[in-house]
Structure 1
Amino acid sequence: MKKGLDLTNAPRTKDSVLSPDELVSRLEKLVGTLMVLKRKPRTDGANIRKLVSKELEDRISNALDDSRYQILPPKGKGVPRLLLELIDTYVVTSGDTYNLQVWNRIPNGNTPLVRYNNGDTITAQDIRFVFVKVTPENEYIESIVILTPQYIEEHFGSFGKPTIKQQLLVSNILRQKIVNELGGLYFAEDTLDMKHNVSDIYKMPSSNSDEFPHEGDLLSLEIIKEKVAKPLIGQLLDAPDTKTRGQLLEKKVIELLGYGEDSKLVGGYPDVPNQLLEVKIQDTQTIDLGKYSPQFIEKFEKDINLSTGDVRYLIALTNADTKCIDGIILCPGKELGVAFTYVSDKSYKCQRSINMTFFDNYIGHCVFNPED
């Protein structure tokens, strides 16, 4: 049975939420009102959320029935409590700095949180932060500051990278679409930075597959699609466990690329260093991404001007019954979070310190992304 519409439903469209000016107009009437603190973070957080929700109650008409969109993270982890207006609320009280903690999403990332039935998405970077500054002494709301993730990173620095085991979720719906509607191949071109380093003309490798690429070694994803991805569809990976099937897949990829039979499996990142190609098996909905994830863009330590977002991913969608490859995902790392969903094996948080003097600048006001 579907639940009734409320502030936890998605908006009709991403663009139908309150504009910055409208949001400020709604919430500024809370400035100067009483907010009794219980000194318990969860309780105070819930009470602030109720106050903000009350000012948005008439917006229920903009809510969309949950049959018309999908919440992507398992158990809704990382999805804001006030999804209808794409906002999360936070209580700010005292101290020299405020430690912002964002649970289960990378705030300024493009990871989809909601996918509408028409294919549109709401991503982590669409969520606005509503900071309600409450004075502990007389317990009234001193100011309300609304910030976007982009503003926070530009003014206070990047969010800290959490230490988590990162996974990628390829839902059954998307898998079936790839296999049945896209001819078995999901493909996206190389990133712009990578395109400056690749060749669109195939030539036999002059280096070993386990060597980090030299100038002229890298083939474009277009070439890898024709030489590797398409021929892999339908091939058998007959091994009893995921690890061994993954090794078989790596060997097939190396062979199709034209490397010699004595090429080594490195077991590192990426799996085929000479092509900056990471090779994965999908035999369950989630794929372990290992130590590195393109959700967290990092530059290589090697002498090359590329990042983890530029690394190419070849993911084989294997059939549990036939042990054959039903489809292939071939794309740069940056594309993974756009098309699919990052999840983690446990809850995690991203943190960013904000100097309390920043909030002191706006006493008596409600502001959105204020100018310096």
Structure 2
Amino acid sequence: MKGEYKIPPKSVSNLTNPKVLADRLKELVGVKFILSGKTRTDGSNARKLIEKTLGKYDLPEKCPKCEYEVVPPRGKGIPKITREFIDTYIVTTGKSYNLQVWNRIPASKTLLIKYESGKSLYCNDVRFVFVRIIPSKKVIASIIILTDDYIETKFGKFGKPTFKHQLLISSKVREKIYKSETRVLSYDDTKKLSYLITHKYKPPNLPMVQEPEFEKLYSIELLNEMVAKKLIGQKLYFGATKNRGQALERLVLNLLGYETNKKSLLYGAFPDIRNQLLEVKVQDSPTVDLGKFSPEVEEIVIEENNLTTFDVRYLIALTNEKTGIIEGIILAPGEKLGDAFSYVSDKSYKCQRAIPMNYFEKYAGLSIFNPD
């Protein structure tokens, strides 16, 4: 069975119900478990024990290799027991347990496994299996299976890691865009923003750095017609990415009817064209640098109307690395970027959440899922 657990299920619906998982794992409660004192060794042993126990039952049907794609580079952030989308954790002693989640942001809609059928597995689909061990008795006291939504509701949000945000747009996705009729991949504005936009063009009467004028924001549909389609075939200044980004921003501003000057182009705020809640990016390599703000994590951008990174519109120009010619465009609200692409980091990171130890103590002798 070794290696079988690394293969994802054939579909999201094939995952075993977590209550059933808890029932299957209850035989481990009271089982002897001797800690070695080495975190990785103990973690590996606990995971193997979980795998062995689940292996007694029918696992979800595995997915043929040609029908899915592991989105994060080198599989970073994918749960160890991929077949059941489970990560396991050992809980021992102390007043508080510090849950650490590596290389993914829990409770986020970040894509992890993409299926050819369309449905996919995201960060918020991962199930957390906590193996509570009492060192003095050398036994497993309980098994608790939790979802990240439950953890955040019960104990608070996970800490946000500090790292350089990047968006991975695969060559496969780029080719699909290039072969489409318009060479533009666009999504509708968020529901929240849909009440604040217009589908009719009127020349802007405020500078691009000013706060948005609600009900005068150009819809993505309008931006598509006025900007995205007209950018295809345009050539950007061939130089550093920052310079090409400014060249793209200038093109977009001109197409929208804004006055441009060097000072406004060096404004450096988020989003780039704040008056239109529009962030402009150039992609000529597999990743796009997102900077300080990323729609992977929802954060308030404009307090009025409670607009967040999910509502910000992203215009990403897919350029030819050699010629600088724009060959495709992605135009989407932040909340949709994780559906089609993957967020990555330039280095490993972790998200943390403290859970009081008395929470685990309450469920001694049980194997349970998301208890009340």
Fold conserved (TM > 0.5)?
yes
**Which consecutive residues of structure 1, in runs of 5 or more, have no partner in the other structure?**
none
1:356 matched to 2:360: no
- Partner residue in 1 for 2:366: 365
- Partner residue in 2 for 1:231: 230
Between the aligned partners of 2:14 and 2:59, the Cα distance in structure 1 is: 12
- Partner residue in 2 for 1:336: 337
Between the aligned partners of 2:133 and 2:317, the Cα distance in structure 1 is: 52
**For structure 1, which segment, 311-320 or 58-67, has the greater mean C-alpha deviation from structure 2 after superposition?**
58-67
With the length of structure 2 as denominator, give the TM-score of the two structures.
0.96
- Partner residue in 2 for 1:198: 197
1:79 matched to 2:96: no
With the length of structure 1 as denominator, give the TM-score of the two structures.
0.96
CA contact (8 A) 1:207 1:217 kept: no
Between the aligned partners of 1:120 and 1:274, the Cα distance in structure 2 is: 35
1:302 Cα deviation (Å)? Answer: 4.8
Between the aligned partners of 1:39 and 1:89, the Cα distance in structure 2 is: 17
Between the aligned partners of 1:81 and 1:38, the Cα distance in structure 2 is: 21
CA contact (8 A) 1:210 1:274 kept: yes
- Partner residue in 2 for 1:93: 92
- Partner residue in 2 for 1:168: 167
Of 15, 18, 23, which aligns to 1:17?
15
1:24 Cα deviation (Å)? Answer: 1.4
- Partner residue in 2 for 1:267: 268
Between the aligned partners of 2:38 and 2:237, the Cα distance in structure 1 is: 55
- Partner residue in 2 for 1:240: 239
1:305 Cα deviation (Å)? Answer: 1.9
- Partner residue in 1 for 2:122: 123
- Partner residue in 2 for 1:280: 281
Between the aligned partners of 1:121 and 1:316, the Cα distance in structure 2 is: 25
- Partner residue in 2 for 1:56: 54
The one-letter amino acid paired with 1:238 is Y
Indicate how the Cα distance of structure 1 residues 250 and 21 shifts in structure 2: closer, same or farther if over 3 A, else same: same
**For structure 1, which segment, 13-22 or 133-142, has the greater mean C-alpha deviation from structure 2 after superposition?**
13-22
Identity score, percent: 47
1:156 matched to 2:155: yes
Between the aligned partners of 1:301 and 1:332, the Cα distance in structure 2 is: 15
CA contact (8 A) 2:311 2:333 kept: yes
Deviation digits for residues 316-343 of structure 1, max 9, x if unmatched? 0001233211010001011111111000
1:216 Cα deviation (Å)? Answer: 4.3
Indicate how the Cα distance of structure 1 residues 177 and 97 shifts in structure 2: closer, same or farther if over 3 A, else same: same
1:238 Cα deviation (Å)? Answer: 3.1
CA contact (8 A) 1:28 1:366 kept: yes
**For structure 1, which segment, 53-62 or 131-140, has the greater mean C-alpha deviation from structure 2 after superposition?**
53-62
CA contact (8 A) 2:60 2:84 kept: no
Between the aligned partners of 1:215 and 1:24, the Cα distance in structure 2 is: 49
CA contact (8 A) 2:182 2:229 kept: no
Of 24, 27, 36, which aligns to 1:26?
24
The one-letter amino acid paired with 1:259 is Y
The one-letter amino acid paired with 2:352 is Q
Deviation digits for residues 180-212 of structure 1, max 9, x if unmatched? 135310100111111122122110001011212
**Which consecutive residues of structure 2, in runs of 5 or more, have no partner in the other structure?**
none
Between the aligned partners of 1:216 and 1:16, the Cα distance in structure 2 is: 44
Indicate how the Cα distance of structure 1 residues 61 and 109 shifts in structure 2: closer, same or farther if over 3 A, else same: closer
Deviation digits for residues 120-171 of structure 1, max 9, x if unmatched? 2110100100000000111100000000111111111111100010100000
SS of residue in 2 equivalent to 1:202: coil
CA contact (8 A) 2:129 2:146 kept: yes
The one-letter amino acid paired with 1:31 is V
Between the aligned partners of 2:272 and 2:353, the Cα distance in structure 1 is: 33
The one-letter amino acid paired with 2:70 is I
Between the aligned partners of 1:19 and 1:216, the Cα distance in structure 2 is: 45
Report the count of equivalent residues: 369
CA contact (8 A) 1:5 1:65 kept: no
1:304 Cα deviation (Å)? Answer: 4.3
CA contact (8 A) 2:91 2:133 kept: yes
The one-letter amino acid paired with 2:171 is N
- Partner residue in 1 for 2:110: 111
**For structure 1, which segment, 219-228 or 57-66, has the greater mean C-alpha deviation from structure 2 after superposition?**
57-66
The one-letter amino acid paired with 1:46 is S
1:5 Cα deviation (Å)? Answer: 5.5
1:212 matched to 2:211: yes
Between the aligned partners of 2:239 and 2:60, the Cα distance in structure 1 is: 53
Between the aligned partners of 2:181 and 2:364, the Cα distance in structure 1 is: 55
CA contact (8 A) 1:217 1:274 kept: no
Between the aligned partners of 2:40 and 2:218, the Cα distance in structure 1 is: 52
Between the aligned partners of 2:119 and 2:223, the Cα distance in structure 1 is: 29
